[in-house]
Amino acid sequence: MAKPFVGIIMGSSSDSRIMRSAAEILDGFGIAHEDQIISAHRTPSRLDEYARHAEDSGFKVIIAGAGGAAHLPGMIASHTVIPVIGVPILVYNDRHQKKADAKFSAFGGLDSLLSITEMPSGSPVVSVGVNKAGNAGIYAAKILASEFPALRKKLIKYKSEQHDSVVKESRRLKKEGLAKFARKKFS
Ligand code: RP5
């Protein structure tokens, strides 16, 4: 799949720390993606521009990550019919807070989650959990899988690998006993 069918966008370069997981998942499945920074409040004119670019490029899904009043996913969704998966980001001290007492945003990611999921009726955006950009990558792969049988096979394999790894760990835990297993795993 050389042509990018997924657009990954984020509100700030600081979001790349989290959003990279979406890219890593897509890379693992061999899904090409195009990545950009589009700030809904700092570059508002780029919203419409990007939505047109996404349509012209034939993107089938957009993954949009944003923190705080996370309006990027909803705003992009309102400019296009391409499905948008929002990634609510827990904002650490933002770039303007030189000396911040608190490490995280006041609402710990709930602000971003609600901003994305509480879109008014008629303008839906789906959302993964706070900082769960990897899940957005998997969900995008699932959307594409209905069209690409080879990708469907990869997803089935991914699922069975998850199953096997839990069974393997469970066998080890049973053999070693819980105390020893946990000591080895977390020390
Ligand atoms: C949002 O504000 C971005 O999505 C980011 O999560 C947050 C903080 O941005 P920076 O101050 O780090 O640029 O627009």
Contact status, residue 37 vs residue 10, Cβ threshold 8 Å:
yes
* pTM reported for the whole predicted model: 0.93
3-state SS assignment for residue 70:
coil
Residue 132 in this model has a pLDDT that exceeds 80: yes
The pLDDT of residue 93 is 74
Ligand 1 pocket check for 105: Cβ under 6 Å: no
Q: Which residues pair with 10 in a beta bridge?
A: 37, 65
Rounded to the nearest angstrom, the distance between the alpha carbon of 57 and the centre of ligand 1 is 26
The pLDDT of residue 166 is 98
Residue 35 in this model has a pLDDT that exceeds 90: yes
Q: 39-67, pLDDT tens digit by residue?
A: 999 999 999 999 999 999 999 999 999 99
Residue 97 in this model has a pLDDT that exceeds 80: no
Nearest CA to ligand 1 atom 8: 94
Average pLDDT of the chain to the nearest whole number = 94
Ligand 1 pocket check for 12: Cβ under 6 Å: yes
At residue 23 the predicted structure's pLDDT band, cuts being 50, 70 and 90, is very high
Residue 17 in this model has a pLDDT that exceeds 90: yes
Q: Which residues pair with 6 in a beta bridge?
A: 33, 61
> How crowded is residue 53: how many other Cβ atoms within 10 Å of its Cβ?
16
Matching residue, tokens 């650490």: 92
Pairing of strands 126-127, 84-89: parallel
The pLDDT of residue 104 is 77
- Smallest CA-to-CA distance from 68 within 99, 14, 108 is with 108
The number of residues making up the chain comes to: 187
- Class of residue 92 by CB neighbours under 10 A (exposed 0-12, middle 13-18, buried 19+): middle
